[in-house]
Amino acid sequence: MKKIAIVGAGPSGVYCALCLLSFGIKNIEIFEKNSPLSTLLPTGGGRCNLTHRGDDIKEFAKNYPRGEKFLYSIFSKHFVGDTLEFFSKIGIETYIHEDERYFPKSNSSSDMRKKMLNALCDIKIKKQNITSKDELKEYDFIVISTGSKGGYKLACDFGHSIVEPKPALCGLKLSNNSSKYPQGVVLKTKDGDVLFTKDGISGPLIYKISSLRAREPFPYKITLSLIDEDKLTREVKNNPKKSFGNVVSGFIPKSLAHVILKNYDKQCANVSKKEIEELKIITFEVVSTDNKGEIVTSGGVNLKEIDKDCRSKLEPRVFFCGEVMDIDGFCGGYNLQNSWSSAYCAAKKISEII
Ligand SMILES: Cc1cc2nc3c(=O)[nH]c(=O)nc-3n(C[C@H](O)[C@H](O)[C@H](O)COP(=O)(O)OP(=O)(O)OC[C@H]3O[C@@H](n4cnc5c(N)ncnc54)[C@H](O)[C@@H]3O)c2cc1C
């Protein structure tokens, strides 16, 4: 009987095993160096944002700065609806939040982990750190689902190249010149909210920017719209006796206005057009990522070396799924959907050729 090794019991590895089981394949061994599915626990702040509403594959795939086109075919085989149905079959019911993110009804990633592990039935998870292909000689098929940490060497052992890993979906550190902003304050811009941290910026908008610009060298500049010029002009005109700072504080937090304005106490009557114009945008100089906030890794096994079934083009008994590949998405459930869909594709192909 042919034997399958799955290296890594994260979301993609366990889902792959569950899919193989659903195809009637049981001769599987999973290797995990830590605790199985421990990486699922912090997802969605402990609630597990397992996917996002998806009506159209191409629209959905736009949420992956790396991997967009590669995912067309992966999603055509297993998309959001298939994932929800699959989870329902193993007792994980889901609901959609008004912002179109999906969560388990239990609102608990720990409960989801328990149910996924229970559904593995007799499949054993061996506590072992696989460091070379020599340890996997006896297996006919090998699924590498090691996420962003721990599997690159193994992939290289099989002849693969790695696109240099870089943090994405994380906070950003600002240059000394830029990191003068009041910590803990939230700036609401028309592009989204920015949270000022000890030495940088964070929040959903910044995560997205960190992801879009993950491959850019530091330092780089981010420019965001700050205050609508017409509205500010009107307010300044209607309040000639008020201080400029006071009026600006109607648009942005007061503590921030104090930092930004050179002329906080100036009377509005004396404020020039240029001074108003200067508040249209805010620019930050980014010097590095804040690795504490890293949620995903951009980079990983080169997609040119993986076919549409998530099978290695270099070593036909090897498959990849999840974050180990050079695929990463935005916040909102996209990264886990990559894990589920790619895991299914690998399992499906194995079931066809075994
Ligand atoms: C704080 C946080 C919150 C997140 N929230 C969300 C969310 O709500 N929604 C979402 O879509 N995404 C979220 N993500 C991203 C998501 O968790 C990952 O994309 C997903 O876990 C990737 O799954 P994976 O199975 O590919 O890899 P991983 O989850 O990294 O799992 C890989 C597993 O392989 C094991 N391993 C590695 N190397 C070896 C080896 N050599 N031998 C044996 N075992 C090995 C590891 O120990 C690990 O258990 C979040 C990430 C973080 C950090």
> pLDDT value at position 292?
66
Answer with the residue of higher pLDDT: 199 or 211. 211
User: Ligand 1, residues 15, 335, 338, 340: which to mutate, most atoms within 8 A of Cβ?
Assistant: 335
**What are the Cα distances from residue 19, in Å, to 41, 48, 78, 86, 122?**
21, 20, 11, 9, 14
pLDDT tens column, 287-310: 999 876 668 999 999 999 999 999
Q: Residue 1 has what pLDDT? A: 87
Non-local (6+) Cβ contacts of 274 within 8 A are none
Domains in the chain: boundaries: 4-167+297-353, 171-292
148: which residues sit within 8 A by CB, 6+ positions away?
Answer: 165, 296, 297, 300, 323, 324
**Which residue's CA is the nearest one to ligand 1's atom 31?**
10
Which residue's alpha carbon is at the smallest distance from atom 26 of ligand 1? Answer: 322
Cα–Cα distances in Å, from 319 out to 60, 65, 144, 309, 315?
A: 24, 22, 6, 8, 9
Going from the Cα of 294 to the center of ligand 1, the distance in angstroms, rounded, reads: 12
The DSSP call for residue 45 is G
Token pair for residue 284? 């930050």
Give CA separation, 184 vs 3, 153, 175, 224, in Å: 53, 40, 18, 19
Pocket test of ligand 1: the residue of 157, 295, 327, 337 to mutate, having most ligand atoms within 8 Å of its CB, is 295
pLDDT of residue 140: 98
The one-letter code for the residue type at 215 is R
How many angstroms separate the alpha carbon of residue 9 from the centre of ligand 1?
9
- Pocket residues for ligand 1 (CB within 6 Å)? 7-13, 31-34, 38-39, 42-44, 49, 129-130, 145-151, 154, 295-296, 322-324, 333-336, 339
Q: Is pLDDT at 179 greater than 80 in this prediction?
A: no
pLDDT tens figures, 113-168: 999 999 999 899 999 999 999 999 999 999 999 999 799 999 999 999 999 999 99
Given pLDDT bands bounded at 50, 70 and 90, which one contains residue 88?
very high
Tokens 């050179």 sit at which residue?
Answer: 262
* Alpha-helical regions (H) of the chain: 11-22, 57-61, 68-77, 80-89, 109-119, 152-157, 204-212, 229-238, 244-248, 254-260, 273-277, 334-353
Q: Is the predicted pLDDT of residue 316 greater than 70, yes or no?
A: yes
Distances (CA, A) of 2 to 25, 229, 308: 10, 68, 23
Q: If one looks up domain 4-167+297-353 in CATH, what number appears? A: 3.50.50.60
Give dist(CA 354, CA 83) in Å, integer. Answer: 23
**Per-residue pLDDT at 190:** 84
Look at ligand 1, atom 14, and give the residue with the nearest C-alpha.
43
Mean residue pLDDT across the chain: 96
Which amino acid type is present at position 232? Answer: L
SS3 97: coil
As a whole number, mean pLDDT of residues 231-248 equals 97
User: Cβ–Cβ contacts within 10 Å for residue 341, how many?
Assistant: 27
Confidence tier at 57 by pLDDT (50, 70, 90): very high
**Judging by DSSP bridges, how do beta strands 296-301 and 28-32 pair with one another?**
unpaired
pTM, 2 dp: 0.95
pLDDT of residue 149: 79
Two tokens at 133? 């292909």
